[in-house]
Structure 1
Amino acid sequence: MKSALLHVLAPFLLCAALANTSLFADVDVDLSYEHYAEKRVDYLPGFLAMPCNCLVNVAYIYMGLYWLLWHRGVKETEQSRYMREVFAFMAVFYGHVQWTRLAVLRRAPAVLDQWFTLPIFAWVPVWIRFIERGPAKWRASHAAALELFSILSYGLALAHERGFEVALGCHVALAVYMGVRVQLRLGDGRTRGYLLLAVLSCAGFVVLKLLDHRLARHRLFQRLTGHFWSKVCDVLQFHFSFCFLTTLPQRAQRE
């Protein structure tokens, strides 16, 4: 667990330090409450200014801690446990980053919120490659290279105002492609269900976030807004990805 924490914390702190420089001064990020459909509650402190969108980040933290401490009597190799723990720490950190972004509405946490999303998605192909190749053939250097490339891909946000969306779209497409590929090779009905739920949650995350203000025209989405539900879908996306990626090795070992 210490190795997993260190390997998440080190690049996270580096990205946080760079986000607080002028390097990303021209990146297009939203820094006002008008970007969100949920109305600000003026008498609440900043970290609860939009109660629903703020408190939903507790779900990321809880879910990350749940999978960090997950055992259920399953025998894991040291490397398999490392894969799970890294992903879990990413979820915990991401919840804090998003909450900080809403609490202070400053450029640095907004940039970090976007940036940290990319290596999170990149960890799914890393984990899948580990499952496909097995501990004997898997190389940590390949994982480090993919994560480094993922972090560097945020440079697209400097090149174009939609650069981040392009980078994120590529990350999502790669994760889905590799998920389908490993499912066809090693999966069964149970893992197929997990994969389908993860992909549907990902779609919900994207669509509900984009439709935040449009949905707010309807009473049903004026407090629990589209952005809030997109975060619920994001948490579910994390959870079902964990279910999928922890179940596949068990099935492979049985075979």
Structure 2
Amino acid sequence: MPSDSTFISEAVIKSCMQIIMVSPMVQAFGVVTVVTVAMIYSVYLGFFDSVHTEVGRQFYAERYSKKWNKAFPPWLNMPYNTFVNIGYVIVGAFYCAKTSVSLHRKHLKLSDSFLFYAFNIMSTLYGAIQAVRILTQFHRAAVMDQWYTLPFFMFVFIWSRHLDSGIGLKGVAIYITASILSYLFTLIHIYGFEIALALHVLIAVYGAITIYRKFPIKEAQGPFVWALICCVGFVVLKLLDLELPKMNQVFEKLSGHFLSKIADIFQIYFVNRYFEILSVYKNTCSMENKKFK
């Protein structure tokens, strides 16, 4: 005869399985983790060792001050560029929590929440990936940092397609796979990453504009404009990293690279806010239409 402990164990396992099956957060975490691990393993195997990356302190304007010696170890020689990556974790965790609240209040559907969770779990992991690149200055860490940037922009297009006509997990998988494979351009041309990134940015902007035309909500204008400004700031400030210190020494601490990451973090925030407004609006309109019917 089964013991009480057996019944308890079976009940716990059953409950865990139910949570995994119904929780979009757990599903999103599983999918993002599997994809991220696959990307890291591909980089580890050396598939992209021939890719051009900028590795070394000479590519960063931030200078290590002797004052930091008392507070940080020598290997933490770019503290601003290191600690700024915590911002990605904060924004990602914040919007994961906000998504859970919105889902509980039925402001978002399960399919909506999956995209929010996936995007913001990626954000938290991205912060860690960038920190590893800054701290190690390893070529493979730089490759992973570049590569992981692309799916973020593709997610904007995926979100737009989802709100427009629905996309499903199969559609998400196709677009993300295409985004990941586009990094193969780096094996063909020295500026392959820049080409892939430019295409992703254009696709993301196109998707965001297209869905706004379908749901022209005034409240969404601000987040869209700010996301676009932050996107431009992210690119321009990073390119000017070594030029800004020539204007003022303050940029040897608050460097262009550091400021570009601030812009990038706010870009993620405003993208979340943009699609949050559109998703809630669409679901509200859908519920009102059902009431009238």
TM over 0.5: yes
* Correspondent of 2:215 among 167, 186, 189: 186
Within a 5 Å distance, the mapping from 1:45-64 to structure 2 comes to 45=73, 48-64=76-92
Query: Would you say 1:131 and 2:163 are equivalent positions?
Result: yes
Query: Residues 66 and 74 (structure 1 numbering): CA distance in 2 closer, same or farther, change over 3 Å?
Result: farther
Superposed CA deviations along residues 172-206 of structure 1, whole A, max 9, x for unmatched, are: 00001110111121031110111000000000000
Which consecutive residues of structure 2, in runs of 5 or more, have no partner in the other structure? 1-24, 286-293
Asked whether the equivalents of residues 46 and 104 of structure 1 are also in contact (C-alpha less than 8 Å), the reply is: no
**Range moving further from structure 2, 35-44 or 23-32:** 35-44
Q: Compute the displacement of 1:34 (Å).
A: 1.0
Asked whether the equivalents of residues 47 and 99 of structure 1 are also in contact (C-alpha less than 8 Å), the reply is: no
Query: Would you say 1:65 and 2:93 are equivalent positions?
Result: yes
Q: Output the CA distance in 1 between the equivalents of 2:225 and 2:32.
A: 28
Asked whether the equivalents of residues 39 and 50 of structure 1 are also in contact (C-alpha less than 8 Å), the reply is: yes
Q: Output the CA distance in 2 between the equivalents of 1:192 and 1:88.
A: 22
Q: Output the CA distance in 2 between the equivalents of 1:165 and 1:197.
A: 23
Which consecutive residues of structure 1, in runs of 5 or more, have no partner in the other structure? none
- CA root-mean-square deviation: 1.4
Q: Compute the displacement of 1:74 (Å).
A: 5.4
Query: Would you say 1:21 and 2:31 are equivalent positions?
Result: no
Superposed CA deviations along residues 20-68 of structure 1, whole A, max 9, x for unmatched, are: 1221111111220111000135743366320111010011111110011
Superposed CA deviations along residues 94-133 of structure 1, whole A, max 9, x for unmatched, are: 0000000111111221110000111121111111111111
Query: Residues 67 and 116 (structure 1 numbering): CA distance in 2 closer, same or farther, change over 3 Å?
Result: same
**Structure ID, larger Rg:** 2
Asked whether the equivalents of residues 160 and 210 of structure 2 are also in contact (C-alpha less than 8 Å), the reply is: no
* Correspondent of 2:151 among 102, 108, 119: 119
Supply the AA of the counterpart residue of 2:234: F
**Range moving further from structure 2, 160-169 or 41-50:** 41-50
Q: Output the CA distance in 1 between the equivalents of 2:133 and 2:65.
A: 16
SS in 2 for 1:216: helix
Give me the TM-score of the superposition, normalised by structure 2. Answer: 0.83
Within a 5 Å distance, the mapping from 1:64-83 to structure 2 comes to 64-70=92-98, 71=101, 73=105, 75-83=107-115
Supply the AA of the counterpart residue of 1:14: A
Asked whether the equivalents of residues 115 and 154 of structure 1 are also in contact (C-alpha less than 8 Å), the reply is: yes
Q: Paired residue for 2:18? A: none
Q: Output the CA distance in 2 between the equivalents of 1:132 and 1:186.
A: 9
Give me the TM-score of the superposition, normalised by structure 1. Answer: 0.95
Percent of residue pairs bearing the same amino acid type: 31
Q: Output the CA distance in 2 between the equivalents of 1:126 and 1:40.
A: 41
Q: Paired residue for 1:234? A: 264
Q: Paired residue for 2:21? A: none
**Range moving further from structure 2, 211-220 or 59-68:** 211-220
* Correspondent of 2:134 among 80, 83, 102: 102
Q: Output the CA distance in 2 between the equivalents of 1:80 and 1:139.
A: 10
Supply the AA of the counterpart residue of 2:62: E
Q: Paired residue for 2:6? A: none
Q: Paired residue for 1:244? A: 274
Q: Paired residue for 2:125? A: 93
Q: Output the CA distance in 2 between the equivalents of 1:47 and 1:10.
A: 31
Q: Compute the displacement of 1:251 (Å).
A: 1.3
Asked whether the equivalents of residues 47 and 102 of structure 1 are also in contact (C-alpha less than 8 Å), the reply is: no
